[in-house]
Amino acid sequence: MDITRLLSDFQIPFQTGGKNVGKDWIGLSCPFCDDPSYHLGYNLKKKFFHCWRCGTHPITTTISKLLSINENQVSRIIQQYNGATEADSAIIIKPFQFPTGTMQMTNQHKTYLENRKFNPEILEKEWGLLGTGPVSKLDNSDYKLRIIAPIYWGGKIVSFQGRSLSNKTTPKYKACPKNREIISHKHILYGKQSKWKSTGICVEGITDVWRLGIFSFATFGIEYTSMQARIIANSFKSVLVLFDNEPQAQLQASKLVAELKFRGVNAKKATVKDDPGNMLQNDADYLIKQYFC
């Protein structure tokens, strides 16, 4: 397993030498104990984790703790980084794929976007949007008549989210089945990783990112995870949290701002009249100009 690439991609701090790190080891802060200084080691030759304070820990459990992901997802993570793990035979991990019938967007998909004041050609080019027709399934889930947004992380497609063309459909947003995700979408962010700068705008959903552009990123809903908060803190020095203008969303925005400040980020909250994704493009462009100037 290419542990250094895995840790780098997930922005987990580690050391390859120095205090508490011996030859053929890398050091990390142990997630199992109150570790102030890289006591958890990974042996690069024998490939196991051992904390010099609390003992040896299984690979699956340790990576689950480090990445704040469910143990059922760890085998796919390790497969991605060219290794093997103690597989949970009760969990059927399936290859990543899009729903059946996924294709280039049709006029129906483009009309939906145009009705929301988006430019479908730009979104198709910038975000790789696809679409599904009246018959589309993946496993036991129905994905008919949705815009399919690929989710990239580390330059690779790791998941997707589908947005229904009808506001009457429940749920409006439907993610890739968990056992097909290469990385859980709730432990990464949606956006253009390679374009991020030290300042960013945090929004709820993918349509908000389409509206605000490459300097924004989404947490896939207001219920952000600790892994997402960690990635935000490691990626940005300043963050404007711009969630929907309704009470529960604003409460979560305030919680995220507080957590980011605790992690050393210059974070603040802002609101718009309704939903950032429903802003007129000129208004969104003006907001971005004000915040980034």
Q: Based on the fold, state whether residues 233 and 278 are members of the same structural domain.
A: yes
Q: What is the mean pLDDT of the chain?
A: 89
Q: How many domains does the chain have?
A: 3
Residue whose entry in the numeric block shows the structure tokens 């009457």: 168
**Which residues, including other chains, have CB under 8 Å from residue 28's CB and lie 6 or more apart?**
7, 12, 13, 14, 15, 38, 40, 41, 42, 66
Domain that holds residue 247: 190-292
Record the tokens describing residue 63, joined without a space. Answer: 């990576």
Does one domain contain both 48 and 76?
yes
The model's pTM is: 0.73
Q: What is the CATH number of the domain that holds 36?
A: 3.90.580.10
123 and 162 in a single domain? The answer is: yes
Max Cα–Cα distance, the chain, nearest Å = 61
Q: Which residues, in sequence order, are CB contacts of 68 under 8 Å at separation 6+?
A: 187, 225, 226, 227, 230
Asked if residue 91 belongs to a domain, the reply is: no
Tell which of 144, 166, 187 closes a domain.
187
One domain for residues 218 and 259: yes
SS3 content of the chain, % helix, strand, coil (to 5): 35, 20, 45
281 in the same domain as 210: yes
140-149, 166-175, 208-217, 251-260: least confidently modelled range: 166-175
Q: Does 86 map to a domain?
A: no
Do residues 173 and 116 share a domain?
Answer: yes
**196 and 286 part of one domain:** yes
Q: Is residue 284 part of a domain?
A: yes
What is the pLDDT at residue 160? Answer: 97
Helix (H), strand (E) at residue 235: helix 226-235
Task: Pick the last residue of a domain from 65, 80, 95.
Answer: 80
DSSP of 106-149? -HHHHHHHHHTT--HHHHHHHH--EE--SS-EETTEE--SEEEE
The model's confidence at residue 147, banded by pLDDT at 50, 70 and 90, is very high
Q: Are residues 75 and 112 in the same domain?
A: no
**Residue 36 banded pLDDT, cuts 50, 70, 90:** confident
- 3 HSE (CA, 13 A, CB side): 25
For residue 82, give both structure tokens.
Answer: 């060219």
- Assess whether pLDDT exceeds 60 at residue 17: yes
CATH code: domain of residue 156? 3.90.980.10
Calpha distance 19→203 (Å, rounded): 40
Q: Do 58 and 75 sit in the same domain of this protein?
A: yes
Residue 205 pLDDT exceeds 80: yes
| 220 and 249 both lie in a single domain | yes
Q: Is the model's pLDDT at 165 over the cut of 60?
A: yes
Same domain, 201 and 180: no
Lowest mean pLDDT among 44-48, 53-57, 76-80, 159-163: 76-80
Of 259, 253, 271, the residue nearest 229 (C-alpha): 259
CB neighbours of residue 65 within 10 Å = 16
148 in any annotated domain: yes
Q: Is residue 176 part of a domain?
A: yes
Nearest 5°: phi and psi at 84?
-135, 160
Task: Tell me whether residue 60 is in a domain.
Answer: yes
Look-up of token digits 């210059």: 266
Residue 99 within any structural domain of the chain: no
For residue 82, what pLDDT is reported? 67
State the CATH number of the domain containing residue 200.
3.40.1360.10
Ramachandran angles phi, psi of 62, nearest 5°: -65, -45
Question: 170 with 215, same domain?
Answer: no
Q: Is residue 170 part of a domain?
A: yes
